[in-house]
Each structure stands twice: as structure tokens, then as C-alpha cells.
């Protein structure tokens, strides 16, 4: 039987969270360190994290990243640059390990496609499989 304290929160590592948004680009989370009594912990630094979504043919791609700065204004100024870097890293230029992952995903999609009993109503699903397979094959050819 496992010890119940394995899943307990550490009262010395707690943060209070505040959220900020411009309702255009994304959101910024401000994590303020607190003591176990809820008062601000002045010994630890405030942290900022940005989040945004980019629409792709597959749906929304979530972007989450740490921001530099000691104030919300400084974090907001860092937002666009960090979002661009993260988007570039998650974009079409793939690292070898990401390419291997996409090859595996393509293999899984092909296996899934074979295992599905596709009927007349699922033409859209078939089209989606074909588009994804073509996209990944194009990425392989580009390398």
C-alpha cells in the first residue's frame, strides 16, 4: 500500500495565480510564491508564463512558454518574442526525433485507417487521413 504523503502538496512550494489577457494574442499567468499561511513569500521570485493558441488545419495548437521579467509589463513585452520562438520550434522545421515521431504517427494512422470499417458517411474521415498522410510525406520529401 502506498504512503498517502506521496500525493500531498508541499506547503513550502505553493503559488498564488493571477491571470492577465489582452483578449487578442493570449494570456499571461503570474505565479506569486506564498508561505504556508498564504502570505507572500519574499524569498522566492514571481514567475510569468505565456499561453496562446494558433489555428492549424488539425485544430488549435496550444503554445505555452516561460516569460522573462519581474513585472507584468516586462512579461507582456517578452510575450510576442517568446511566442514567435515557440511557434518556430513547433512549426514545419522538424528535428530528427520529431520527424521519427511523425513517421510513427503516420504508421499509426495507416493502421487505424485499415482497421476502421469506412462507410459512405465517413468520407470526411477518409479525406482527413489522406490529407495528413500527404502532409507528412511532403515533409519527408522536403528533408
| pLDDT of 39 higher than 50 | yes
Q: End-to-end distance of the chain based on CA atoms, in angstroms?
A: 51
pLDDT > 70: percent of the chain: 58
Identify the band that residue 25 occupies on the pLDDT scale cut at 50, 70 and 90: confident
Q: Are strands 27-34 and 47-56 parallel, antiparallel or unpaired?
A: antiparallel
Across the strands, what pairs with 59?
56
pLDDT tens, position by position, 51-106: 988 776 667 778 888 999 999 999 999 988 888 887 766 655 445 555 555 566 66
Amino acid at each position: 500500500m502506498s504512503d498517502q504523503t506521496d500525493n500531498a502538496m508541499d506547503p513550502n512550494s505553493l503559488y498564488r495565480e493571477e491571470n492577465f489577457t489582452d483578449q487578442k494574442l493570449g494570456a499571461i499567468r503570474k505565479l506569486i510564491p506564498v508561505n504556508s499561511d498564504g502570505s507572500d513569500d519574499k524569498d522566492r521570485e514571481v514567475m510569468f508564463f505565456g499561453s496562446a493558441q494558433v489555428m492549424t488545419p488539425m485544430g488549435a495548437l496550444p503554445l505555452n512558454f516561460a516569460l522573462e521579467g519581474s513585472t507584468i509589463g516586462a512579461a507582456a513585452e517578452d510575450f510576442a518574442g517568446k511566442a514567435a520562438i515557440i511557434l518556430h520550434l513547433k512549426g514545419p522545421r522538424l528535428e530528427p526525433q520529431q520527424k521519427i515521431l511523425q513517421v510513427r504517427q503516420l504508421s499509426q494512422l495507416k493502421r487505424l485507417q485499415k482497421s476502421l470499417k469506412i462507410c459512405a458517411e465517413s468520407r470526411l474521415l477518409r479525406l482527413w487521413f489522406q490529407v495528413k498522410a500527404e502532409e507528412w510525406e511532403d515533409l519527408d520529401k522536403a528533408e
